[in-house]
Structure formats: C-alpha cells, structure tokens
Structure 1
Amino acid sequence: MTARFGRAELPEDLERVLHKAVRIQWITIGALAVTVTMVFLAMGNSQAMKAAWIEDMLSFAPPIAFLVAVRMVNKPPSEGYPYGYHRATGVGHLVAAVALCAMGLFLLIDSGMGLLKGEHPPIGSVQLFGQTIWLGWIMMAVMAVTSIPPVILGRIKIKLAKELHNKVLYADADMNKADWMTAVGTILGVAGIGIGLWWADAAAALFIAASILRDGYKNMRGAITDLMDTRAMTFDDREPHPLIGKINEHLRSLPWVKEAGSRVRDQGHVFHVEAFVVPRGPMPPLEAFEEARDGCIDLDWKVQDVVVVPVPELPTEAGGQRQHQSERNL
C-alpha cells in the first residue's frame, strides 16, 4: 500500500463541473472584452464611467487567475514542490485581490479630489442617424445593457464555486454580483449631471471606488489567511469546514482509537490533514494507521495529504484543550 499525496483527481461528476467552470470563465472574458469596449467608447468625461471602465478592466484578473491555477494545481509533486501546486489557487486569489485594493484606493483618491475641487464634467451631444442625442443617454443605456451578463454569470459561478471549493471562483462570482451596483451608481451619476447636480458624477465614482476597495480588502484578507494556514473554512469563509468534524468522527470510530483530533489547512482547493490519535491500549500495527489514513481520504475528494500521528495526549491545537476542560467539568 502506498501513500497518496499531492494530486486531486476529481470524481467524474466534478470533472464535468470543472470543465463547465472553465467554459464559464472563458465566456466571462469574452463578455468583459465587449463590455470594456462599449464603456470606453461611451465614457466621455464622466468620472463615474471612468471608474466603471477601470472596474471592468480589473474584472479580468479573477477569471485569468482561475484559468492559470486550473492548469497548475493538478501537476504532480516534485522534489522542489513536494506538496504539489495546489497553492497556485491561493496565489492567484491574492494577486487579484491586491490589484483590486490598489485600484480601488487610487480611484477613491482621484474621485475625492475631483469632488473637493468642484470639477464640473461636461457631457456633450453626438450625431446619431441624423439626430442630436445627449451622450448621457448613451452612457446610461450602455451601463444598463452591460450590467446583465455579470449578474447571470455570478449566480452560475457561486454554485460552481461551492461544488469545487474554489475561492477564486467565489471571489469572481461575488464581484460579478456586485457589478449591478456599479451600473446603477453610474446611471444615477450621469442622470444627476443631466438635471444639474454637478457633484452626482463624482459621488457615483466615489461609491464605485469604495465598492472596489471593499471587494479587494475582503478577498485579500481571505487569501492571506489561507496562505497563513488558518483552519480550513467553507468556500465563502463563513464557518469552519464541516469535513474537520467528519474526519475526527471517523478516527474516533476506529476500535483502537481512544481520542482523536486534527489540524486541517486549505491548500487552495484540497485539504492537508494532520490527524493526531491517542491509541487505546498497546500501539497498533502500521496497517491500522494506513487504513485510518485511507479512510479519511475516502471521506471526500478534498481530503489530501493525510498524516496520522500517534500521541500520548491531543495537542491543544487539535482539540486537546477542549478535552481537558471537559474532563475538569466532570
């Protein structure tokens, strides 16, 4: 029997989910290319339109990071990378988040300065089919049309992110869902100029910049904590992953195990598990540890790189403190 480390062969049904996610990301890139072009052509001197255009440009980062990571994560471990390449997902997540934070901060300062200086952005008119049309109508129409694809794609990606436990895909979906706020804010800003509220455009740009910065900070915090080996969380970082409890329950169910606890960290889309067991009676044979390890792996495709370690008592980080507290309460 040989140890299984480093690779994450997805079950057949999840392979189909992954292929669907890849297709969705290519569709996203295509939709973004059209959106960026349309917004650029209609941008004019509007600060809100400029902010929306930059946000659309930044939206390329998460799908590109996802596609690059997908090509890397299943490469087999090597001497230089004995744990495999699963961290590529986390690195891509961090790169996209830092880009969002940097641009959100820049736009926040740029838009704020425009508001403080009292800049009055002019929005002229264009000749279209022999008619003179206020450019603001075109801007608002473009934002209304381009807000539809992100909402649809975002809903699809959230479901795929949950099935694949992929936080880059979830971050991308989260940004897509928020894009309608950017569109609404831009439309209100341009409409405000149309009715004489010169400050509405800069205010809308500030709203968009704050939204970008918020998304960037949220994703950067999640990416950094994952890379720092925090406890494995669900794909949306809302709570500890339930697999931690299932692993401990499985180990405790073994007849030769008195107590068990584990440290589980997220490698990007699979988990690395250090399981600690307190044997009941004499030390069991090596085969018992191999069966315990394989049993953990068989619980879920995300469970990888499992190490089962015999200890006289559980370490605090693996639940030992809680055990001691419960014993004192008896």
Structure 2
Amino acid sequence: MTSLARAMSSGPRHGTHFGGTELPEDVQKVLRRARRLEWVSLAYLGTGVVLVGLVMGSSQAMQAAWIEDLLSLIPPMAFLVGARVAANEPDRAYPFGRHRSVAVGHLVAAVALLTMGLFLVYDSASGLIERDHPPIGTMQLLGQTVWAGWPMVAVMVYTLVGPVILGRMKLPLADQLHDKVLHADAQMNKADWMTAGGAIVGVLGIGVGLWWADAAAALFIALSILHDGWSNVQHAVTGLMDKTARTVDDAEEHPLVGRVEAYLDSRPWIRDHHTRVRDMGHVFHVEVRLVPRDGRADLARLTQVGDDLRAMDWKIDDVTVAPVHRVHEGETRTGEGGR
C-alpha cells in the first residue's frame, strides 16, 4: 500500500508526521528539539550579524566573517521551512508527499554557499595581489579611546562560542531524523567558528604590523566557505538524482539498504531479487522485484514482505513489492536458498 493510500484510509491523524509517516514518540521529541535549536541558532546568529556589522570597519577578514554569518542563517531557515512542508500529507497533486522539500532546501543553501565562496576567494585574493593595507584606527568606548581591533576580537569570540556548542548538539539530531539540511547546518556552524578564529588572527595580525594577515585570513575563510558549498552542492544534486540512499553525511550507503537485502536473502521462497532504495528527504521509498522459487506470486507472502519492511524502521515510508519472472542481468541478488 502506498503512502497516499495509507494516509487516505487511516482517518484522523495524531502526533507528528513526515508526509504519511507518523513518527515514533522518541523521534517526535528529536524533531521538536531540532526545531528549538534552529530557532535558537537564528536568534544567536542574528545578534552576531548585527554586532559584526557594527565593528567590522575596513577589515577584509571581518567583512568575510560578516557575509559568512549572514549565509549561516540560510540552513536553519531551510530546515524549519522544509520540515514544515514535508509534514503535509500526500494528495493528488503530490502523491509521493512533499519530502523533496528537504532536498530543495539543501540545494538552495549549498548554491548560496558556493556562489559566495567564489566571490570571496576572488575578493580576498585580489587584496593580497594588490597589497591592500587595511587601517584599523581607534574608537571611543565608554568614554575611553581604545584600538578598534579589540571590539572586533571581542565580537568574534562571541560569534565563535555559540556555533561550537550548537553544531555539536545538531549532529546527532540530524542523524536520528536523517535530515541532510540539519547536518549541513551543523557543518556550517563549524565553518562559523573557524571563520571567527581566522578573523581574530587577521585583526591581531594587522595590530602587530602584518598587513597581509587580514587578506590571508579572509582568503582562508573564503576557501572554507567554498569547500562547504561545493561538497553540499554535490550531495544535494546526487540526492535529487535518486542515488541509492546514503547516510546523512553521505559518507556511505545507508545501513537500511543492507538490512532490506539481508531480509530478502533470508526468505527461502525467494529465488532472486533486486532492490532499489530511494532517499526522499527524511524517508525512503523501497522498490522490490523478486522471483518466487516456485514461480507463483502468493499475495499473502508479498503483503508480508511489504509489512515486514515497513516495520523495520520508521524511515521506510513507501514499499512496492512486485513479483517478476526474472530480474535484469547485473541486478541479481540471490537469496540464501539459491546459493
């Protein structure tokens, strides 16, 4: 039975959902916590953007850090919007649900990072080539004349501490929810504190007479942004191209793919089979084509396969089981009984 059919036949729904999939209570708690963290991130990062904007002056490193802080607002917003849109039930217009909203948000955030990274690399490299000497003068603070670099350093320390904590808190939640936007946001938080550290080095470098330190720090920040943007664009695009489901960090094939195949291998009445597992956002769609050993398609057995796979994990949302006479050459998986 498809997600659409289950949603239409199940009557009133309770609890938290991703499309037609009701989340287990523990996963609902994880989702609520992730939403709270993202709101906290937006508030914290927003104050950082304002403070950096007030003190950045003509420092290239500070300007790059300010732009990076602005970009870091995109992933939390993409997560909050994507999770909300993905919660809508499947309907006639979107029979597979709106899970792809997560992938779209991931791609938008990645392209923004990549574009700004390219611009900042060009801008900071130009500063080094042209040997720009950015001045950092003095300012009045609480009636005292102080070097303007000290407020810059203080603000950078502020923008460094929060992302270290927030990023570490988001990573396990991203894995539990299988949310690549949340994972990208945790990576962005890592880039945030690295950026702050680079800006501090650049400002202090100017203070001791190293004119090139500011532009070098800006280039370091830009390369970090460019790296994050490129890797996230790759992951987002391959996800939209229906690559076999992978872990949230895209490091390896998702363990559920192997568990599905191991289950099919264990059924003695299945001679050959082929499985395709597609990552829709938070959930997976599984397509199974199998060759019954006796050549007959037993409806009860096929239904049981679908039920067992759906019960395996909440992320397995939609399962199609189709009996066939044979699977395509190169796609064969032979069950235990056929070896």
**Interval of TM-score (by shorter of Structure 1 and Structure 2):** over 0.9
1:99 matched residue in structure 2: 112
Q: Deviations over 1:5-34 (max 9, x none)?
A: 452211111001000000000000000111
Instruction: Please tell me whether residue 139 in structure 1 is matched to residue 152 in structure 2.
Output: yes
Instruction: Kindly report which structure 2 residues correspond to 1:1-330, keeping only aligned pairs within 5 A, or say none.
Output: 2-5=1-4, 7-316=20-329, 319-320=331-332
Deviation, structure 1 residue 3 = 4.1
Deviation, structure 1 residue 35 = 0.5
Structure 2 contact 3–96 (Cα < 8 Å) conserved: no
Q: Deviations over 1:270-323 (max 9, x none)?
A: 111111111010313222211111111110001022111212333356x42x76
Q: Secondary structure at the match of 1:272?
A: strand
Distance change (3 Å), C-alpha of 1:254 and 1:184: same
Whichever residue aligns with residue 275 of structure 1, its letter is V
2:8 matched residue in structure 1: none
Distance change (3 Å), C-alpha of 1:199 and 1:240: same
Q: 2: CA distance between counterparts of 1:83 and 1:305?
A: 9
The sequence identity of aligned pairs, in percent, is 54
Deviation, structure 1 residue 259 = 2.7
Q: 1: CA distance between counterparts of 2:198 and 2:116?
A: 18
Q: Deviations over 1:212-258 (max 9, x none)?
A: 11101111100000000001001111110111111112223234212
* Superposition RMSD in Å: 1.7
Q: 1: CA distance between counterparts of 2:196 and 2:329?
A: 49
Deviation, structure 1 residue 55 = 0.2
Whichever residue aligns with residue 28 of structure 1, its letter is S
Q: 2: CA distance between counterparts of 1:138 and 1:225?
A: 43
Whichever residue aligns with residue 58 of structure 2, its letter is N
Q: 1: CA distance between counterparts of 2:271 and 2:173?
A: 39
Deviation, structure 1 residue 261 = 2.7
Q: 2: CA distance between counterparts of 1:204 and 1:314?
A: 56
Structure 1 contact 66–92 (Cα < 8 Å) conserved: yes
Q: Which runs of 5+ in 1 are unaligned?
A: none
Whichever residue aligns with residue 306 of structure 2, its letter is R
Q: 2: CA distance between counterparts of 1:142 and 1:213?
A: 24
Structure 2 contact 174–182 (Cα < 8 Å) conserved: yes
Q: Deviations over 1:169-202 (max 9, x none)?
A: 0010011123221111111111111111111101
With 260-269 and 213-222 compared, the bigger mean Cα shift is at 260-269
Structure 1 contact 256–284 (Cα < 8 Å) conserved: no
Q: 2: CA distance between counterparts of 1:154 and 1:165?
A: 16
Q: Deviations over 1:81-129 (max 9, x none)?
A: 1111000000000000000011111111111112211111111101122
Structure 2 contact 138–145 (Cα < 8 Å) conserved: yes
Q: 2: CA distance between counterparts of 1:189 and 1:241?
A: 41
TM-score, normalised relative to structure 2: 0.91
Whichever residue aligns with residue 214 of structure 1, its letter is H
Q: 2: CA distance between counterparts of 1:229 and 1:107?
A: 32
Q: 2: CA distance between counterparts of 1:126 and 1:22?
A: 40
Q: Which runs of 5+ in 2 are unaligned?
A: 5-18
Structure 2 contact 295–325 (Cα < 8 Å) conserved: no
Whichever residue aligns with residue 66 of structure 2, its letter is W
Q: Secondary structure at the match of 2:146?
A: strand
Q: 2: CA distance between counterparts of 1:268 and 1:307?
A: 18
TM-score, normalised relative to structure 1: 0.94
Whichever residue aligns with residue 45 of structure 2, its letter is L
Whichever residue aligns with residue 41 of structure 2, its letter is T
Structure 2 contact 65–221 (Cα < 8 Å) conserved: yes
Q: Secondary structure at the match of 1:85?
A: coil
